[in-house]
Amino acid sequence: MKKAIGAIFAALLVLVTSVTASAHFGMIISSDTMVMQADDKQISLKLSFSHPFENIGMDMSKPRVFAVLVNGKKTDLVNQLKPSSVMGNTAWESTYRIQRPGLFVFYMEPEPYWEPAEDCFIIHFTKTIVTAFGDDEGWDKAAGLKTEIVPLSKPYGLYAGNVFQGIVKLDGKPVPFAEVEVEYFNEDGKSQAPTAYMIAQTIKADPNGVITYAVPSAGWWGFAALNEADFTIRKDGVEKPVELGAVLWVKFHPWQ
């Protein structure tokens, strides 16, 4: 009996550890974040739902919404999405031609993802920001999403080691003490975490909803602010809670 109880405890410990370490992230990764005159004017974007540090993908249905916001004008891009693969799982991709100076906010709202381990649905409102041809206005403006992280630091032109700040918002209002997961996109699989605790790091917003994080290395970093929705989704006749994620992807560059 003692051996059986010990085995059950060990299995539960492994399960809890794996769930804690494996943070879900909606992802929009762009081929360029600062388009200059000499650059290729056509950028590519890959959309997925993944565990970025561990390089574990999950199948993602075609998003409900995929659009770009330029100078306050929204352009629907969802019909331009094509099936793709990220980390061996179903993902989506698109291209977009930059034709004029501006700030381009790409964002998506996915179909709700059922996570049996957490007994809830997950919806990650995900965005990334691209600037072009020297335009530098509007990077600190909200995109008007259900929930989002509004940058207080420019979300481009950043070096590894820079401090990044943003305001977590839900329904347009700051979220005091919001919990935010931060994770590195371990694209080449070369980075190793000393322990499972360091795969996804967790920070808290201050009383004004402001988050602060110093990025230790170059590459893509995801910030996911998590809050419970004020609505539920029915599954098998039972109302289930919904986790809303405000996800922002920012690229940091090595110091030359």
The tens digit of pLDDT for each residue in 52-103 reads 999 999 999 999 999 999 988 999 999 999 999 999 999 999 999 998 999 9
State the pLDDT at residue 10: 39
User: pLDDT of 114-152, one tens digit each?
Assistant: 999 999 999 999 999 999 998 888 999 999 999 999 999
State the pLDDT at residue 6: 45
Phi, psi for 164 (deg, rounded to 5): -110, 135
Span of 7-11, 134-138, 175-179 with lowest mean pLDDT: 7-11
State the pLDDT at residue 22: 62
CB-count exposure of residue 235 (10 Å: 0-12, 13-18, 19+): middle
Read off the tokens for 55.
């390089």
Instruction: Count how many residues are written for the chain.
Output: 256
- Segments forming the whole domain that contains residue 9: 2-253
- In this prediction, residue 39 has a pLDDT band, given cuts at 50, 70 and 90, of confident
Read off the tokens for 106.
């790409």
Q: What is the domain-level CATH number for residue 64?
A: 2.60.40.1930
Pairing of strands 219-228, 179-184: antiparallel
Q: Which residue has the tokens 């072009």?
A: 132
Residue 46 has pLDDT above 80, yes or no: yes
Residue 12 has pLDDT above 90, yes or no: no
State the pLDDT at residue 16: 40
Phi, psi for 13 (deg, rounded to 5): -65, -45
At residue 39, the 3 state secondary structure works out as: coil
State the pLDDT at residue 135: 81
Distance CA 223, CA 202 (A): 10
Distance CA 167, CA 229 (A): 18
Total number of domains constituting the chain: 1
